Structure formats: C-alpha cells, structure tokens
Structure 1
Amino acid sequence: MLSNRTDAELFEQLRSGNISALGIFYERYGEVVYRVALRMLGNTQEAEDLTQEIFLYISKKGNYDESRGSMLVFLVTMTRSRAIDRHRQKSSYRKRILKWFNNSPSQEYGGLMDKVALKEVSHKVRNAIARLPMQHQRVLEMAYFDGLSQSEIAEKLNMPLGTVKTYKRKGLLKLRELLQELVN
C-alpha cells in the first residue's frame, strides 16, 4: 500500500509514473505548503496557485534527495523560495511602472512636440488594443490598468487560470506585433 511508504519510496514511485504518489504527498503536506504560501503571500488565490505549482513541480521535474533532509523541509523551503521570488517579481514590476511614469513626459511641462508625440503614441496604443479579441483586451486591461493578478482575473471572469494566462500572453504578443514600430 502506497500510503505506508516513506517519502523517498513515494518519490521513486512518482518518478516511475505512479501519479497516486502525488496524491499521498498532497495529503501529507498540502496544508502545510498552502499555509506557508498564504502566510508569505497574504492572498488565498496566490497561495493556492503556489501550492499547485509546488506539487506540479515535484510531479514533473522535482529532484528530492532524502540525504539532504525530509520531504517536508524540501517542500517548505521550495514554497518559501518561490513566494520570495513572487514578491521580487511584483516589486520589480512596480518599480518599472513607477520608473516609466516618472520618465514619461509630463502633459503639463512638455513642449508642443512632446505633447504631439505622446498623443500620437497613445492613439496608436489605443488602436492596437482595440484590434485585439475582446477576451484578450479584458484580461490585459484588468492586469495592467486595474492591477489584478492572473488568479484574481480568473476568479472575476469565471475562467480557468490557464486560459487567463494564454489570453494575456497572446494579447501581449499581438500588441508587440501591432506596435512593432514603437518597440524598435
């Protein structure tokens, strides 16, 4: 019976393709991983996403080594590390946005040419966004104008997280294509 096996034995079962081992790992450690993620991220949706990410990682390409510590320590360390990475990504994103806003020409103080150029760029961006499929527009607007996470968007639009990620990625790729002259 799988549930009576050690973590190392279960991990070997998982490596050999026995997906039931993943269920046992989740039963043993899912709540702990979720609570660590929730404590560090402060958001239930993000904690759920991270918990899912951790267990998917160990099922696909995790490299647990029993000699380095218990499975619990391995999972908690990975959860903590990935939560810190998410905080850094958010912080980096916020800094880029602030830098962009601080470096963009001011409507009030810019010269006539700056105002004309800014208006022209804004017009091109609005037109490019309008050319996207409606779902892509909504996801991008919610992400970049409303500041919602992909999990929050999925919840508000009542769609799977993977679909939100796909719409966002495809929307950004299409925008890049449509605005190629501004990117270069």
Structure 2
Amino acid sequence: MRSMTSGDAAAMSALYDRYAPGLLGLALRITREQADAEEVVVDTFAQAWREAARFEGGRGSVAAWLVTIARSRALDLLRARSRRGKLADAAEAETASPAAMGSGYASPIAGVLADERARRIQDALLVLPDAQRTAIELAYFEGLSQSEIAERLNEPLGTVKTRLRLGLRKMRDLVAALGPGGHT
C-alpha cells in the first residue's frame, strides 16, 4: 500500500492480481451480472488507488479494506440500477454457482476454482459461532449496513462491529487452513 501512495503502478498491478478474482466473485454474487461485477472491481481498484494514503493497516487487512470498498460499490450500483428500474431483472435471476453461470469465467477450470473457494468460505461460515455467522450473513448476503444489523438484532453497534471483525478474521484463518484442497 505504501508503494501505491507514491504512484507505483507495479504495486497496484500486484494488488489487482492478488485480490481481483475474489472481489469479482463477491461483486458477482451481489450484482448477479458479469458486466456490473467487472465494473465494481474496476471502481474498487480505482478508489483504492486514489485513497491508498488513507489505508490504515492497524485497523484491518488490505483484503478487508478492498472487500468493504467492493461491497459498497456493488450496493451503490444496485441502488442506481433500482432507480433505473432494472432491479426486478436481478431479483429474478437464479442463485447459481459461479461455474454454472457459464460466461463468468475465462475457462472451466477458473469456474471450478471459484466454486472450490466458495465451498471453503461456506465451510468456514458453518464453523463460526452463530452470532458472528449471522452478522456476516446479514452484511454480505443481505447487504445490510452495520447500523441496520444492530437494529435488526437489537444489539449495540459496537457488538455488531466486533462480531463482524472477529468473524471475518476467523473465516480468513479457516479458509487459509482449509487450503486449496479443502483439507487441513
């Protein structure tokens, strides 16, 4: 991140190569349209480039920062789409695995790898304590803000933030421990 603040395009390229596939999967799950998901990823990295100096490593990981940006951009795009009357089309789309969506990946292998990663994430979610899992599901699958989650669960905002932070940290560790083959 420090290299990006000084305009190092190679650092940006490395960041993109490392995180773009995962962010594309997240954006695709939220927007349900490949073109929109790709736009979200581009917007995410453009914002990361512009705001690299604002990143505070002590507050969280680069991955969490990028996921937060991507999620916000995807939700902004959905709100804009809703205003244009296109949200109904997205709501009717089937929930499918990335590989089943067909054209979403350059090769069948890429789709299979994305499915494997999604399975590892689902496995990690199942291991989390119920309170952390619920908070993460509300944030990332239902698109609720932290304040909305606190209101829905009738919990203090600080509690929700802690559950999200701890849950995401545990998920990151669990997904890494499961490794590419899904075994510890």
What TM-score comes out, normalization by structure 2 length?
0.44
Whichever of the two has the greater Rg, that structure is 1
